[in-house]
Amino acid sequence: MLSSRREYPCQTLDMSPGGVALIAPVPAQPGERVVAYLDHVGRVEGVMVRPVANGFAMTVRATIRKREKLAAQLTWLANRQILGLPEDRRHERLIPRNPRSTLTTDDGVPHDCRLIDVSLSGAAVMIALQPPVGSPVMVGRTAGRVVRHLENGVAVEFNRTQSIETLNEQFG
């Protein structure tokens, strides 16, 4: 997403905890704020620093804690490919085609949110509101509970394991 708030598809060329090079159909301008939603990594925020062939490079603006977490995730991803390791989770995470959704709290109030990723057993949800851990919630039409707070949202574990068909139907 560029500063115009328009969203475009992109592909990661290379990445470190301090920056990322993206292939993108629309170039960002030097100094322009960029928010990218990347498979296996999630939301990355920063500023465009230079053009690259068919895209641009951007800094990663993040806290020290988030950079350390990103470094660990990138190391794991690199080792996973080299060693042929499976995803280190109960269920593979999927990036929804349409990330817009609602998170309904226990009081019945729906809140607009953005899905970072979903799996058969839960979802990572970007939302300013952070209900207490253990709180019952609905992500779209799927019941679950908050299991932890994320930097920009919450992780939700679904009450029942979902089928891939249900996930595709509900979250596309």
pLDDT, tens digit, 9 for 90 and up, residues 135-164: 999 999 999 999 888 888 999 999 998 888
* Number of domains, the chain: 2
pTM of the full structure: 0.50
**Does one domain contain both 79 and 107?**
no
User: How far apart are alpha carbons 27 and 51 in whole angstroms?
Assistant: 8
Using pLDDT thresholds of 50, 70 and 90, give the confidence band for residue 22: very high
**Does one domain contain both 148 and 105?**
yes
Other residues' Cβ atoms within 10 Å of the Cβ of residue 113: 24
Does 4 fall in a domain?
A: no
CATH number, domain with residue 149:
2.40.10
Does 5 fall in a domain?
A: no
Does 124 fall in a domain?
A: yes
User: How far apart are alpha carbons 94 and 152 in whole angstroms?
Assistant: 19
**Does one domain contain both 116 and 78?**
no
**Does one domain contain both 79 and 131?**
no
**Does one domain contain both 113 and 153?**
yes
The last residue of one of the domains, among 49, 83, 117, is 83
Query: Which amino acid belongs to residue 144?
Result: G
**Does one domain contain both 54 and 114?**
no
Which structural domain range is residue 41 located in?
A: 11-83
Q: What is the pLDDT of residues 86-137, one digit of tens each?
A: 554 455 667 787 889 999 999 999 999 999 888 888 999 999 999 999 999 9
The last residue of one of the domains, among 36, 55, 83, is 83
What lies within 8 Å, CB to CB, of 127 at 6+ separation is: 103, 111, 112, 113, 114, 152, 153, 154
CA dihedral 65, 69, 75, 80 (to 10 degrees): 170
Does 46 fall in a domain?
A: yes
Helix (H) or strand (E) holding 77: helix 64-83
